[in-house]
Structure 1
Amino acid sequence: MSSRAVVLDRPGTHRLVTRDIPVPGPGEVLVEVAAAGICLSDREVYDGRRDAAYVRYPLTPGHEWAGTVAAVGAGVDPGLVGRGTVAEGFRACGICERCRYGETSLCTGGYAETGFTEPGAFADHVVVPARLLHPLRAGADLRAAALLEPSAVIAAAVRAGRARAGERIAVVGAGTLGLLAVQLLSASGPGELVVVDPRGARGAQAREFGATAALSPAEAESVHGRFDLVVETAGAPTTAASSCLLARRGGRVVLTGMFTEGAVGIDPVHLSLSQLEVRSVFGASSADWSDAVRAFGLGLLDPAPLITHEFPLERFGEAVSLVGGGGSGTGKVLLRP
């Protein structure tokens, strides 16, 4: 038996290779990949725009995925074979102070992440440490479950934002993260849940997911200072600053977007005078993954409607070109081995 994988030898160069099926070592599992999402981070890896400290070529990318356990290594429960599963991407050490405190996304033991420094899931099979698995309920939609990685990031944002029932909440950005945020935040019983995005179609989809209103950035200027909690998901040059303007005095702002140098910064005078609480989120801890998987299992989170394109491994080049360049009608792009 053989297994295929997309390999990036260097930025802008990829090939589809055929190899023997990987064998899981002690404490590891072999997963047959059902679906893997492509995100902007993968596009950065492909284009060579990711910080060299956070990528290792040659590389098989793919950190958003779901699949079925096909084999286990020594010391791993054989009952996992046949289970649908997802797995955390960060390979936290588990022994540093931050890991011991439960903050596995802040591990100080060194950076290692599936799809960036370790072989990822743009392949027929992927091998991961069994301790990172989050098994899914029987019959779970593995296609939709491929989006549980970004869902875990949003679960981290919701946890950091401490959403309370009856609060006024704004979500800035209606991409994948923003629309997932709407779904999770709507389950908290907000008094108001407003989405800010320049794309009318995305705003309409947000309302289908539970948003009470959708505003363009220009329209949102009329509601500055209104919201108890603002969750920023866009990572656009101005959205960190504009999110702080949306928050009420003493409000809370959570930043999940990935910003580039040169972005318009937060006004420190406004931050101080308004006594805002600002948090950033990068990745997700084990607890956040558990929250996302639980919400998915309960039906509070349904990522499937966000998927707009699916491709086989052979069409990886076409698939990755859509991410960040496919136009307003492009949502989540999947590879389906």
Structure 2
Amino acid sequence: MKKIILSISLLLTFLISCNNNQSQNNQYKGGDNMDTRVFKIYTNIEMKKVRFKNRYGIEIAGDLYLPENYASNKNPAIVISGPFGAVKEQASGLYAQEMASYGFVSLAFDPSFTGESGGDIRNTASPDIFTEDYSAAVDYLGLLEFIDRNRIGAIGICGLSGMAITAAGTDTRIKAVAALSMYDMSRDMSKGHQDYYTPEQRRKIKEYLSTQRWKDAENKTYALGNHEPYFFDENNNLMASAMTVPEELPENADPVFAAFYNYYAKRAYHPRAVNFVTSWIAAMPMSFWNFPLMANIKDVSPTPILLIAGDRAHSRYYSEDVYKEALEPKELLIIEDADHVDLYDNMEKIPFEKLSQFFKNNLK
């Protein structure tokens, strides 16, 4: 069983060096001035490029999706981001466009340091700043004349779900929050998949991160690595080297790895993403150890929470555990015959009707 868990954790390290030749087999067409979204575009939904700053002074890049006849109404709105290491031209943009088709002004944004957003240090992450990015997106939407600032919700996908929920726990302007294929990145980085790290292994991981900071300080640069570099050999020695993703998926590949590979490296590849393009800064996970995302989960109430996960998702337990800890109002929806990545872009699996009704009921 331990070997299986280790294999899953290894295969879930999306932060890799990816062969550039992969781009010829995916939907990305290239060019800074071209539309680089990797999903089907609705011609009746207008999208505008927008920029706004968070309270740390970092400029956030967003794609604002506008429903038909939006200018004549005071509209409800939704801020959306995720997955962790993805960009707004991928899953969050798909969600934003779809929610706009249901009548919600929707803003998909790149978190700080990622994609087209600012931040001098690239490929790093902060749970605190990523949470702030949600509130900054609310700031931006609430100043638009066609937005009803009392009817703003949030959606988090995969690794940004924890930040969306955390933001809703403090920012009462977020009136409802939904999390799909949730990943608690703080828990994942500090405890491993299904919390399998032993106390000794956790100590070794902290020593690795701390030593890496000395190296970065001495070299005056930031070495790249994985956000989950914590694999242990048969002698319990830490292995922290990055993976190299093959140009083609190997036969008999682990199904979890295959699902991520087919999304990030093939059908939804985007050169500005981190996943399957580059890697995070090796010492980046330290901030997630310091910031338990679910520490204020009970403070979200009375803001409604909707958690959605696939029944076959390796990450399902995150949604179930958050549901157990959260106070009412809350709802957990398990999608039949769906894995983790199905909720990124599988239009037959993502319950948009349910999402629409959830926000209509709670953004009144």
Please indicate the TM-score interval, normalised by the length of the shorter structure.
under 0.3
- Give the alignment's TM-score, normalised by structure 1: 0.25
- Give the alignment's TM-score, normalised by structure 2: 0.24
User: Larger strand proportion, structure 1 or 2?
Assistant: 1
User: Larger helix proportion, structure 1 or 2?
Assistant: 2
